[in-house]
């Protein structure tokens, strides 16, 4: 049911949004109940997540079908571009909150807690000397040791940066109409992303081991370390799934040399997680 | 979804009955949904305000226990901000922006539906906390830790409802930006756009920039409570004050999110009834952009008493004072538009003039509080409460009333009852002052906010304020009556509706067709 007014495509009625709302609501209700210690919470959460997945599949299937049947004109394509661009900007601002927390604690809280100008430490923690990394004057979570940034994190930086290159090669191949090379470079990108995730999981395992004892509960260092890398990891996971979907679509013959917004949107997203990682590598691991 | 033929099947095909509203992708349907939702939440939040004013009618504890009183102030604020004022403006944006720029609909219609349909679920989750163990959130809408971490079972529901509201706002904002950037009719250049479109464009950028930060802040609260993180715990090297910084980095742009679209509404109404072009159009655009920019660098003026470094106090004081400049430009331009105009005073104009005068009072009390040493006296007193209710109730809410009276004849094709409209204005304008003006005196005399009891010296002004509050609340029932009456019938409105009205929306029939502009109009 559609109606092309003038030439702009205006879809008529859609059930996917309300299914998405029900899914989100169920999932969050379940999660909140789980956090409050209710036994049924996790089940409800999984049901909500399943509904949400169903919505994502269905909604994207509708849009991909519409796209492949030529429903969208240039102007609709442009709407999608603007939409994706500003969505990524909102994601940047989400990470900004956590980077802000990291910088605020390092630049302001550390000197204050450690005996700086306001002098509150005199009353609370008179003998504590601030240094980074720290789990605070209360030694929250117990002593921990750091991970070597020049081992796995440096390797991961190399992997993600390379994946930025391979997806660009894939884009060039798509523009030249070279399908075989496109799919090969896409597979390379997916493999690089998945390898990154594997290493990241391995590194988390190391951090939680008795040797390092670095956990989410390790004071402010553990909090900022795991929340930043964790949310980044979630985004890489999502990005990798998106890359897989796009690779499959390429294999099915979707996209043309001059019309391939879906591909570009995923490429933008991938570059975004790449850039966030660079920020993480510098501010979380190195400095 | 039925395809039943109507007299104009091509343009009117949609599901029948309730499902029409669930599945709709039409900007007018979704605009109506937003407005009805906002009005409903306005009364839910208003009922809570009545509880607050009833308790404060006399000193001592009368009706509710202090915990519940604190829940009322917290929930009243959250519901009015996220449930009433913001959705009302998004509703206006949905109805008006496509008509004003000559577009068939919003750019991303399905996402538009989702932006709305997340809201009722978020509201359900938030209001549901009233019935939970430990009661509804009672730590204030600002959710400062460590206090908010003591919330009972309601805590995760509070956090997740904020997440849902944020998702809804971000999608709504993206849609508005994309519509304005990509759907304008040929010849509708940026500097020809009506100011309501401009102010919403800038508001949408504010939303996209700060809602995710808010989501991040409440996520840190959640992990501090349930996953052992130490963001706001000094023992772990964190800092509770850091929450206030992150919150107000969101919170200050947020208050402009609730007022910039109001500026757009007023800039549409005053020229119509003064029968003159808006004075200083381009300066209005630049002033709006300046206010938006400044909103990002003034947040700590909400935290002057928290123990900031002296340089911080000074920077945020001067930056805050700067906002008076572009805001002054706006008030000057509105007044200059009226200067030597041939004015008439229909209800929208009355509300618009009421807005200019009363919002300016709120602006001036804001200027008083921007002075750091003086804010030390006012902080967390009823002076603050008076200030932000002047800008939000006699500011934002008045502008929403003005907008509804102004565009309702266009939306429904029927004129509202002018006599009742004027009555609604005069009762609202009088009682809003009876309600909030005495609160200035209470605050200056030292009465703290968010406390259910007070010293007997504050009794007189509180009594007046409460009486004003009850009367203001009752008056709003009149508004509902007027709107329903207009929707159901009334004398027919012309396409132009108002003699002095100018803009693309007035070139459409009243009521406008289901898809606003099926062929884009040419703008010269």
Q: How far is CA B436 from the centre of its chain?
A: 18
Residue B7: per-residue pLDDT:
36
From the list A11, A83, A93, which residue is nearest B213 (CB)?
Answer: A93
* φ and ψ at residue A195, rounded to 5 degrees: -65, -40
Q: Does A93 touch chain B (CB under 8 A)?
A: yes
pLDDT above 90 covers what percent of chain B?
A: 93
Tell me which residue of B170, B43, B44 sits closest to B114, measured CA to CA.
B170
CA distances to A128, B333, B364, B392, B523 from B276, in Å: 68, 12, 28, 28, 20
Residue A4: per-residue pLDDT:
45
Interface of A with B in 194-233 (CB under 8 A): 215-217, 219-224, 226-227
pLDDT of B11 above 70: no
Q: Does A123 touch chain B (CB under 8 A)?
A: no
pLDDT of B6 above 70: no
Measured CA to CA, the distance from residue B25 to residue B13 in angstroms comes to: 11
Residue B9: per-residue pLDDT:
37
**Model confidence pLDDT, tens digit, residues B218-268:** 999 999 999 999 999 999 999 999 999 999 999 999 999 999 999 999 999
The terminus-to-terminus CA distance of chain A in angstroms comes to: 56
Residue B266: per-residue pLDDT:
98
* φ and ψ at residue A262, rounded to 5 degrees: -55, -45
Residue by residue, DSSP assigns B423-485 as: HHHHHHHHHHHHHHHHHHHHHHTTPBSS-S---GGGHHHHHHHHHHHHHHHHHHHHHHHHHHH
pLDDT of B194 above 50: yes
CATH code linked to domain A74-286? 1.20.120.80
Q: And the tokens for B336?
A: 């200059």
Instruction: Decide: residue A228, CB within 10 A, 0-12 exposed, 13-18 middle, 19+ buried.
Output: buried
Query: Residue B46: CB partners within 8 Å, gap ≥ 6?
Result: B473, B476
Mean pLDDT (chain A) is 93
pLDDT of A115 above 80: no
Residue A287: per-residue pLDDT:
87
Average pLDDT for B360-366: 96
Torsion of CA B12, B17, B19, B24, to 10 degrees: 30
Measured CA to CA, the distance from residue A68 to residue A261 in angstroms comes to: 12
Q: Which residues are bridge partners to B414 per DSSP?
A: B492
**Model confidence pLDDT, tens digit, residues B266-300:** 999 999 999 999 999 999 999 999 999 999 999 99
Cβ contact, residue pair B10, A59, below 8 Å: no
Measured CA to CA, the distance from residue B268 to residue B400 in angstroms comes to: 12
Residue A5: per-residue pLDDT:
45
Residue A6: per-residue pLDDT:
52
**DSSP character at residue A139:** T
Q: Which long-range contacts (CB under 8 A, 24 or more apart) does B19-24 make?
A: B22/A15, B22/A18, B22/B117, B23/A13, B23/A14, B23/A15, B23/A18, B23/B113, B24/A13, B24/B113
| Confidence grade of residue A13 (pLDDT, cut at 50, 70, 90) | confident
Cβ contact, residue pair A220, B238, below 8 Å: yes
Measured CA to CA, the distance from residue B267 to residue B284 in angstroms comes to: 9
**Model confidence pLDDT, tens digit, residues B393-425:** 999 999 999 999 999 999 999 999 999 999 999
Q: Supply the residues of B annotated as catalytic.
A: 76, 105, 141, 168-169, 252, 254, 256, 267, 301-302, 327, 330, 449
Q: Where are the domains of chain A?
A: 13-71, 74-286
Taking the CA of residue A180 and the nearest CA in chain B, the distance in Å comes to 34
Measured CA to CA, the distance from residue A234 to residue B219 in angstroms comes to: 15
Contact A216, B229 (CB under 8 A): yes
Contact B220, A231 (CB under 8 A): no
Measured CA to CA, the distance from residue B520 to residue B185 in angstroms comes to: 5
**Model confidence pLDDT, tens digit, residues B24-80:** 999 999 999 999 999 999 999 999 999 999 999 999 999 999 999 999 999 999 999
**Model confidence pLDDT, tens digit, residues A240-259:** 999 999 999 999 999 999 99
Residue A111: per-residue pLDDT:
87
pLDDT of B340 above 80: yes
Contact B433, B295 (CB under 8 A): no
Query: Higher-confidence residue: A171 or B522?
Result: A171
Write down the residue that tokens 């309730």 correspond to.
Answer: B18
Taking the CA of residue A31 and the nearest CA in chain B, the distance in Å comes to 8
pTM across the whole model: 0.95
Q: And the tokens for A74?
A: 């240039």
Q: Does A73 touch chain B (CB under 8 A)?
A: no
**Model confidence pLDDT, tens digit, residues A212-223:** 999 999 999 999
Mean pLDDT (chain B) is 95
Q: And the tokens for A207?
A: 């951090």
* Helix A41-68 / helix A261-280 crossing angle, nearest 10 deg: 130
Tell me which residue of B212, B178, B171, B203 sits closest to B30, measured CA to CA.
B171
Taking the CA of residue A177 and the nearest CA in chain B, the distance in Å comes to 29
Chain A neighbors of B117, CB-CB under 8 A: 17-18, 21
Measured CA to CA, the distance from residue B363 to residue B331 in angstroms comes to: 10
| Confidence grade of residue B116 (pLDDT, cut at 50, 70, 90) | very high
Tell me which residue of B107, B91, B100, B89 sits closest to B179, measured CA to CA.
B107
Average pLDDT for B426-448: 97
Average pLDDT for A51-71: 94
pLDDT of B17 above 90: no
Q: And the tokens for A196?
A: 């990154």
Length of chain A: 287
CA distances to B244, B252, B322 from B315, in Å: 17, 16, 11
Q: How far is CA B279 from the centre of its chain?
A: 25
Reported in sequence order, the residue ranges of B51-172 that DSSP labels E, i.e. its strands, are none
Contact B125, A25 (CB under 8 A): yes
Contact B246, A100 (CB under 8 A): yes
């Amino acid at each position: 049911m559609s109606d092309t007014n003038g030439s702009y495509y205006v879809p008529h009625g859609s059930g996917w949004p309300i299914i998405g709302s029900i899914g989100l609501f169920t999932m969050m209700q379940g999660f909140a109940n789980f956090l409050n210690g209710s036994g049924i919470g996790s089940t409800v959460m999984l049901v909500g997540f399943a509904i949400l997945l169903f919505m994502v599949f269905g909604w994207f299937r509708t849009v991909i079908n519409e796209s492949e049947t030529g429903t969208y004109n240039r102007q609709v394509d442009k709407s999608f571009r603007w939409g994706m661009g500003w969505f990524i900007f909102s994601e940047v601002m989400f990470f900004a909150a956590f980077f802000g927390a990291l910088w605020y604690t390092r630049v302001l809280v550390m000197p204050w807690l450690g005996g700086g100008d306001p002098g509150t430490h005199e009353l609370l923690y008179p003998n504590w000397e601030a240094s980074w990394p720290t789990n605070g004057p209360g030694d929250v979570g117990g002593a921990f040791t750091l991970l070597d940034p020049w081992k796995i994190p440096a390797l991961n930086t190399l992997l993600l940066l390379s994946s930025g290159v391979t997806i660009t090669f894939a884009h060039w191949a798509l523009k030249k109409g070279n399908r075989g090379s496109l799919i090969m470079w896409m597979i390379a990108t997916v493999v690089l992303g998945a390898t990154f995730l594997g290493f990241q999981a391995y590194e988390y395992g190391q951090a939680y081991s008795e040797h390092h004892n670095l956990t989410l509960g390790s004071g402010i260092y553990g909090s900022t370390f795991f929340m930043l890398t964790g949310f980044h990891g979630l985004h890489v996971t999502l990005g990798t799934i998106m890359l897989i979907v796009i690779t499959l679509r390429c294999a099915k013959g979707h996209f043309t040399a001059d019309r391939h917004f879906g591909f570009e949107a995923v490429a933008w997203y991938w570059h975004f997680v790449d850039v966030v990682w660079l920020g993480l590598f510098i501010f979380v691991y190195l400095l | 979804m039925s395809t039943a033929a109507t007299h104009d099947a091509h343009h009117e095909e949609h599901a029948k009955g309730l499902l029409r509203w669930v599945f709709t992708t039409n900007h007018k349907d979704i605009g109506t949904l937003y407005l009805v939702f906002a009005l409903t939440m306005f009364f839910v939040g208003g009922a809570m305000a009545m509880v607050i004013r009833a308790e404060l009618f006399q000193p001592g504890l009368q009706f509710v226990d202090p915990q519940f009183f604190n829940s009322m102030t917290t929930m009243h604020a959250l519901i009015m901000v996220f449930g009433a004022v913001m959705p009302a403006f998004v509703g206006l944006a949905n109805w008006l922006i496509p008509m004003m720029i000559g577009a068939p609909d919003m750019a991303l219609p399905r996402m538009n539906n989702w932006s709305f349909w997340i809201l009722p679920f978020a509201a359900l989750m938030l209001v549901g906390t009233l019935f939970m163990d430990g009661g509804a959130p009672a730590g204030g809408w600002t959710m400062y830790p460590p206090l908010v971490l003591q919330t009972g079972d309601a805590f995760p529901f509070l956090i997740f409802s904020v997440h849902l509201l944020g998702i809804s706002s971000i999608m709504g904002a993206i849609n508005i930006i994309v519509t304005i950037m990509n759907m304008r009719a040929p010849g509708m250049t940026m500097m020809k756009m009506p100011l309501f479109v401009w102010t919403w464009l800038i508001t949408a950028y504010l939303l996209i920039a700060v809602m995710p930060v808010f989501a991040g802040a409440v996520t840190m609260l959640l992990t501090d409570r349930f996953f052992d993180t130490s963001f706001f715990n000094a023992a772990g090297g964190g800092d509770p004050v850091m929450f206030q910084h992150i919150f107000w980095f969101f919170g200050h742009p947020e208050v402009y999110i609730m007022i910039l679209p109001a500026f757009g509404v007023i800039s549409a109404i005053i020229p119509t009834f003064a029968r003159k072009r808006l004075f200083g159009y381009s300066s209005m655009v630049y002033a709006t952009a300046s206010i938006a920019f400044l909103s990002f660098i003034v947040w700590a003026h909400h935290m002057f008493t928290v123990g900031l470094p002296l340089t911080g106090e000074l920077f945020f004081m001067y930056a805050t004072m700067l906002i008076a400049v572009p805001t002054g430009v706006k008030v000057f331009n509105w007044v200059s538009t009226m200067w030597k105009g041939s004015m008439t005073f229909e209800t929208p104009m009355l509300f618009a003039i009421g807005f200019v005068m009363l919002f300016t009072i709120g602006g001036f009390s804001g200027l008083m509080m921007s002075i750091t040493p003086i804010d030390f006296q006012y902080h967390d007193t009823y002076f603050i409460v008076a200030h932000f209710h002047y800008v939000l109730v006699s500011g934002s809410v008045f502008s929403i009333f003005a907008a509804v009276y102004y565009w309702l004849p266009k939306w429904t094709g029927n004129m509202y009852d002018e006599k009742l409209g004027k009555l609604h204005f005069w009762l609202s304008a009088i009682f809003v002052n009876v309600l909030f003006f005495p609160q200035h005196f209470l605050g200056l005399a030292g009465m703290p906010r968010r406390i259910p009891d007070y010293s007997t010296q504050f009794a007189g002004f509180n009594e007046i304020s409460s009486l004003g509050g009850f009367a203001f609340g009752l008056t709003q029932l009149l508004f509902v009556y007027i709107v329903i009456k207009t929707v159901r019938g009334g004398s027919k409105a012309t396409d132009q509706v108002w003699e002095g009205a100018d803009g693309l929306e007035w070139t459409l029939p009243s009521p406008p067709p289901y898809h606003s502009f099926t062929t884009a109009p040419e703008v010269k």
